[in-house]
Structure 1
Amino acid sequence: LESTYLEWKHGPYAQKDIHCQDCHMVETETFIKTADNFRKPERSEYRHYFSGANYLLYYLAGAAAKKAGDKDLAASLEKKYQMAVAKLKAAAEMEVQPVYRNGALAEVKVRVKNIRAGHNLPTSLTNVREMWLEVTAKDAGGNIVLMSGGLDKAGSVGPDTRLFNSDGMGKDFHFAIDPWVVTAFSRHDTIPPRGYKDAYFGVLPVKTQGSVTVEARLLYRQADQKVAGKLLDAVPEDIDLEKTYGIKAEVSVPIVEMTRTKASFSSKGR
């Protein structure tokens, strides 16, 4: 299920002799230089931590440290949490372009580019992790002509959301999410290193002609809210979440805004 190594091995970073530790065992600034220029860090730049996208682990461990009154550990975990978030924010960028048909704005094309991850975006347990586009567009009068990627009341993305992840299935070919049940993917849609994928969104007829403003956000979280709830429900009875972590209710899985872009286009075109 986890093909991070193969994604790296078959990609440009492996060809340039850039290894896992060259991006994950350095400060964020060094990681960016390494990823941008295929430049291996100096020996003095390496650190004994392995920072990745698993910010939820630091989030929960930090809560436990605060609950226990360990300020030094809490501060260390907060730093690692911020490093994980910073790597996510540096990994991708987007472009937005208009698509015209019959002289009118018909669609918005959003190109998502994996500019710095040496593996696919997302990677690891892609049937659990979620990376998606939230796109809104308004015409010159402020009327909404496009809205996609918002969360429902339960904290889940809608069925028409453009997700970059995968769907797992069990041996009976039915949908499955537990790693020990999944035997294959029925859908696998991630972005390779230095690659990109395009997403198209239909636009409603504008009520007020003029400029249409589009805002796109690339969002990420480690699991759907329902999956997180299922995991908490499976916690053994002898583990007191409130006593250890200060958790009294279901945890809202933190959502990271990886990148955003905003552009304006004419409602009329060729």
Structure 2
Amino acid sequence: MTERLDGVIVATALPYIEDPSAPAGLRPDLDRYAEHCRWVVDNGCRGVGPNGSLGEYSSLTDAERREVARTAIAAVGGDATVVVGVHAAGSHQARRWAELAAEDGADGVLCLPPTLYRANAREVVAHFTEVASVGLPVMVYNNPFDTKVDLTPELLTEIAAIDNVVAVKEFSGDVRRVLEIRERAPGLTVVAGADDVVVESLLMGATGWFAGFPNVFPAESARLYELATTGQVEEARELYEPLVAAFRWDSRTEFVQAIKRGMDQAGRFGGPCRPPRGPLSAAQLDVLDADLRRAFDHLKGV
């Protein structure tokens, strides 16, 4: 496959509009979502990733989920890369989402191991084999915290041999894995999955960033990626260090609420989340707002 699914791809947050007839009284605001996808791409990011965890895919109806993917493709397809989340409990379901993504014009798919079930290595390989058989480039997603399944470098060696598997989104937080994955599976693109270790991962040889906080700071995030991947280490550190406190929220349970709060404060629209995600507590907001303030104050002077 020629599509490596690297660069800065934004795991896009999904805005809602109040609608009493919609689940939880909130309907995806597709017009605002399309504008947001366009905005992050116009500000230097390579592409968007609809229907990820940050996009609250598990809180959407099937019809909504497909419409979100179609909206992103219509908004930036042809100008940018669109990697659609196809996460599901079973391989038959994930494969169906991948088939729909292909039909709708996606450039690739992002796929967790089976959700809601702690799959063994054989089952994980079978899951990704089924999804990859659709023919789109596949970025497998290692998130051992949510799935309780760890795509170790050893297991990734086997997964990388599957036709059409081209990349791994690495969210373990262990930057030592970047080099080991590159050694064991040199043809596999390693993508930083956690914002608060992105520079460390890029300096170790990751070539992509599937990112959360570029929903808030897309141009600055694209600049950070450029600095880190072109050897401008001191400049990258100078930009990165004041952002890390905010970026750490990307690795916390409340990352969706935190990033949407950042979008609101940046003059965008983050807005509410659907259940089970509720509002942050006053104590959480105090800490988050201080972290965001440090980031915004620094970027004003850049």
> How high is the TM-score relative to the length of structure 2?
0.25
Q: Which has the higher contact order (CA 8 A, sep 6+)?
A: 1
Instruction: Report the structure, 1 or 2, having the larger helix content.
Output: 2
> How high is the TM-score relative to the length of structure 1?
0.27
